[in-house]
Each structure stands twice: as C-alpha cells, then as structure tokens.
C-alpha cells in the first residue's frame, strides 16, 4: 500500500503524539489498515527515558492513542472515546532513533465500554503490549473536540464526525 492510498486518521496541530506543529512531541500520523490502527514512527532522542530507550510514558501514550482510535473507528455506538483504563506490559526496551510500529485493534464493543489491545514492535520484535477499556465521549464533548482536528488524508472515516462538524 502506498502512502497516497492510506486512510489517515484526523490529527491536531498541537497534540503531543500527532501534532505536526508540536516540536516537543512525536509528530506521528496514524492510519487504518484492515481492522487495525497503525502508526510507524522514529522516536527522537529527546523522548528517551534512558540513553537510546524511549520513555515508558511515551510508549504508553502511543498505545493509548492508537487503541482510542481503534475504538472510535471500529466501534458501533459512539464517535469518540476516552481512556477508562490502560494496562501496559513492557517486554523489551523501545528504542529511540529506530523505526517502531504500533498496532491496535478493537476487541469488543460492549456498548458502554470498548475493549482494545495494542502492541509496539521494532525489528520484528514485540517491545510492549497493552489492553485498555475506553469510554464513549458525550456528544457535547465530541463536538468540542472536532474543531481542533484536521482531516487531511481522511476520506472514508471523515463521515464518523460529520454530524458534529455541521457547525464549522
């Protein structure tokens, strides 16, 4: 799949993970492939915890972000979700300066909760795995978030937010 064929997810300019204007952040873009939300990124050295090893909070944030998007994109009931619970298992150090891949998927949409799983890999090796429970945002909360999102590269999934974007 070429970059032009990818279905990218919305992002915001100031977000720590996906904000292209946030020079202190990760500057990742996330996309959908099959039934997963994926991000591929090279973490900059200023996000290390120890020399050449990504900070655990950054690792957790990447998993949290992609699992939240998996609930949003593949859930059936609500347009956006927030984290209710996150459990991360660190298997091996996640390097800075090397490309890593984060993949997450919706396991179950139980209506009031969405259950997701995610994994970070580097060089074919699993470095971290996570499970999370995600709670739907209220329609009002979703409507407040939508103006901060940018939709470049979003085709199919843009319609998820259309009902909330009418006031733009």
Q: What is the pLDDT of residues 75-125, one digit of tens each?
A: 876 678 999 999 999 999 999 999 999 999 999 999 889 999 999 999 999
Cβ partners under 8 Å of residue 36, min gap 6: 70, 103, 104, 105
pLDDT value of position 94? 96
The CB-side HSE value for 145 (13 A sphere, CA atoms) comes to 18
- CATH architecture for residues 3-165: Roll (3.10)
Residue 64: CB atoms within 10 A of its CB come to 22
The tokens describing 7, both together, are 């279905």
- pTM of the model as a whole: 0.90
């Amino acid at each position: 799949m070429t970059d032009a064929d990818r279905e990218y997810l919305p992002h915001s300019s100031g977000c720590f993970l996906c904000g292209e204007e946030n020079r202190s952040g990760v500057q990742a873009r996330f996309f959908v492939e099959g039934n997963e939300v994926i991000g591929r990124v090279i973490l900059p050295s200023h996000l290390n915890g120890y020399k050449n090893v990504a900070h655990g909070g950054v690792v957790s944030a990447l998993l949290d972000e992609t699992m939240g998007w998996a609930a949003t994109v593949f859930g059936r009931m609500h347009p956006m979700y927030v984290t209710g619970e996150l459990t991360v298992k660190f298997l091996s150090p996640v390097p800075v300066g090397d490309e890593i891949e984060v993949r997450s998927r919706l396991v179950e949409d139980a209506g009031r909760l969405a259950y997701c799983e995610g994994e970070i890999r580097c060089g074919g090796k699993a470095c971290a795995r996570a499970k999370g429970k995600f709670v739907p945002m209220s329609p009002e909360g979703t409507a407040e978030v939508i103006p901060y999102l940018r939709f470049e590269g979003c085709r199919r999934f843009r319609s998820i937010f259309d009902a909330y974007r009418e006031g733009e």
